[in-house]
Amino acid sequence: MGNLAWLNGNIYELDDAKIGVQDRGFLFGDGVYDVIKIYNSKPFRLSAHLDRLEKSSLAIKIDIPNSKKEIENITKELIEKSKCSDGFIYMQVTRGCTPRDHFFPTGVTPTLLIYILDIGFPPSKRDVKPTKCITLPDERWMNCHIKSTNLLPNVLAIQKAKEASGGEAILFRPDGVITEGTRSNIFAVIDNEVRTHPESNLILAGITRSIAIDIFRKSNTPCFEKAFNLEDLNKATEIWTTSTGSEITPVYSVDETMIGEAVPGPVCRYLIEEFWKIVETECYS
């Protein structure tokens, strides 16, 4: 049937799903979202993504109108009806549709949107394409742990990266500490240990990030949730990004400076192999 959307209890063709012009998500960015990857018609780590959606929603005081179990069932129904084998599930909840006012409305049911995007081909670890990055000041708000729909700073930063022929912008705070990318978490091998910024209000705790940390710890690879700065980044022997959409992406250049001798490096290659073992076990067996 193609890409389908579930909106407030009804299923539509994606292009036919409509949200009111007074929806607070449209007017104020008053909402949160999450994205789940579909492999072999199975949503990967759906429960973890729904937990994060709930945390983000509670953080801005929106009650999701459907239970976690109901959303799981809706998701599976959409995948089945759309006949999607490989793609994405996008979920967004807003405070609802009501006359424009900055104060929270009362007696309004939140808007819940869930839709499928079929990418039309199975992903593969063999398709990993290294990317180049630039560094930019992190100009986002101080609640990046909330997966908010307010993404304008991210959009502006990734556009600058694109204009510099890059695939991602690595963001840093005024003190030079690296936080994350515009749509990914950042890992680096520095002084023979893997580092990534610790969970805090300055980053979004990515699902793929958590998987990567777990892989390294189970293999006794030195891996630390430990902040590092621009100077540390410049001496990294390997850098990669993690996200639901692009999984693990090795970085070959930052600000036109080449990284390491081979991309992906040995640590990143190991992570990619182990990540795909998990995907294959959970979605293909």
Complete DSSP assignment for 43-106: ETTHHHHHHHHHHHHHHTT---SS-HHHHHHHHHHHHHHHT-SSEEEEEEEES-B-S--SSPPS
Residue 18 annotated among the catalytic residues of the structure: no
Q: Which fold has domain 125-283?
A: D-amino Acid Aminotransferase; Chain A, domain 2 (3.20.10)
Residue 125 has pLDDT above 70, yes or no: no
pLDDT given for residue 126 in this prediction: 62
Across the range 147-166, mean pLDDT stands at: 98
Query: In the numeric block, which tokens belong to residue 110?
Result: 């939140």
Residue with structure tokens 């909402």? 31
pLDDT given for residue 124 in this prediction: 67
Across the range 40-67, mean pLDDT stands at: 98
Give per-residue pLDDT as tens, 161-213: 999 999 999 999 999 999 999 999 999 999 999 999 999 999 999 999 999 99
Q: Report the chain's mean pLDDT, rounded to a whole number.
A: 96
Residue 202 near residue 173, CB atoms below 8 Å = yes
> Which run of H or of E encompasses 114?
strand 111-118
Active-site choice (55, 76, 147, 162):
147
Give per-residue pLDDT as tens, 227-247: 999 999 999 999 999 999 999
- The CA–CA distances, whole Å, from 280 to 46, 80, 118, 243, 244 equal 15, 20, 19, 17, 15
pLDDT given for residue 149 in this prediction: 97
Q: Domain coordinates of the chain in residue numbers? A: 4-118, 125-283
| Bridge pairing between strands 131-137 and 168-172 | parallel
Cα 280 to the center of its chain, rounded Å: 20
pLDDT given for residue 93 in this prediction: 98
User: Which of 112-121, 219-228, 270-279 bottoms out in mean pLDDT, i.e. has the lowest?
Assistant: 112-121
DSSP helix/strand/coil, 144: coil
Domain 4-118, architecture per CATH = 2-Layer Sandwich (3.30)
Nearest-angstrom CA–CA distance, 81 and 61: 32
Predicted confidence band of residue 219 (pLDDT cuts 50, 70, 90): very high
Across the range 142-152, mean pLDDT stands at: 97
